[in-house]
Amino acid sequence: MATSASAVLSKTVKKQYLDLPQGDKVQAMYIWIDGSGEGLRCKTRTLDCEPKTIEELPEWNFDGSSTYQSEGSNSDMYLTPVAMFRDPFRKGPNKLVLCEVFKYNRKPAETNLRHTCSKVMSMSEVKDKHPWFGMEQEYTLLGTDGHPFGWPSNGFPGPQGPYYCGVGADKAYGRDIVEAHYRACLYAGVDICGTNAEVMPAQWEFQVGPTEGINMGDHLWVARFILHRVCEDFGVIASFDPKPITGNWNGAGCHTNFSTNEMREEGGLKAIEEAIERLSKRHTYHIRTYDPKGGLDNARRLTGHHETSSIHEFSAGVANRGASIRIPRSVGQEKKGYFEDRRPSANCDPYVVTESLVRTCLLKEEGDVPSTSHYNK
């Protein structure tokens, strides 16, 4: 399996420089989503002192023509800080800074889907219902040649079955990366709440949540960034491709759990069922928004073992992992809690997924086009 050349660089030598005192200065790594809607970019600047709030962080700029976000003749783009985390790579007072991207005219970039999501989440009819989300991010570890980590170079591992939550060198491929990522997220302040090996060998999942409103998207994007950086140190690639290996191998999703205060209270099952009824009438809209290619990626994924049965048909059920929407058995018994939307793909934009759920379930939108009337009043 091919690994990156940077993986063989001495981390011991690097550490002797990172151990040098940095005085009162702070390194702030600015992170943003590029023009692909899936890739992440970053660059670092020095701050004179440690920022305590997001408002203390300065705006910055970058060359959008090199990130698929502008033409070279008018390439300056603006980075506006929106969320701040501790830096698990440089540690100390240093920060990771998630940013929104704006064009030269101060309009949000095409892939700045956080901007609209934030407007929706800040509406009183949404905030007052305290929407909680939990997202289950699946991913696949690959060599730099695109071959799954730990797989035979000229063949396939044994069939799926022993790998899900598996233990042992012949079942769990790449656990060191998973453990490093988990601890780095905890250090950073990401709301990571669990991890497990998945059905396909070299495929893993981490969970983020429960997280309220716009924070869900912020925390998942930063968790993805940290995963990419950890994999960089190990010389491998983390892929969010919804179907990295063709054939009878599991795809990768980002199952999304959702609830409101009404759903979490006694008798909340009624509100859950009402939300599911609304979702059943808007299946096409959600499939289109649940991957960055308007449903084409989900068309590749939604087949096979433990996958949602159909991209074209909506279904729901208690403890049914073949359904579009799953009501956990404990929720069915306690008559309150949350539901799981199993349709989002691994490479979904969490801002779009959470916004779509809110639009359908809380703002009671219908049809295949999102409304702008709510926040343009």
Return the pLDDT at 307. Answer: 53
Q: Which residues of the chain have pLDDT under 70?
A: 303-310, 319, 374-377
Return the pLDDT at 312. Answer: 72
Return the pLDDT at 305. Answer: 46
Helix (H, G, I), strand (E, B) or coil at 206: strand
Are 272 and 338 within 8 A, CB to CB?
A: yes
Q: Please tell me whether the overall predicted TM-score, pTM, comes out greater than 0.85 for this model.
A: yes
Helix (H, G, I), strand (E, B) or coil at 181: helix
**Which amino acid is located at 295 in the chain?**
G
Return the pLDDT at 368. Answer: 85
- Please give the radius of gyration of the chain, using alpha carbons only, rounded to the nearest integer: 21
Return the pLDDT at 72. Answer: 74
Are 40 and 228 within 8 A, CB to CB?
A: yes
Return the pLDDT at 377. Answer: 53
Name the phi and psi angles at 340, rounded to 5.
Answer: -115, 120
pLDDT digits (tens, 9 = 90+) for 71-119: 877 899 999 999 999 999 999 999 999 999 999 999 999 999 999 999 9
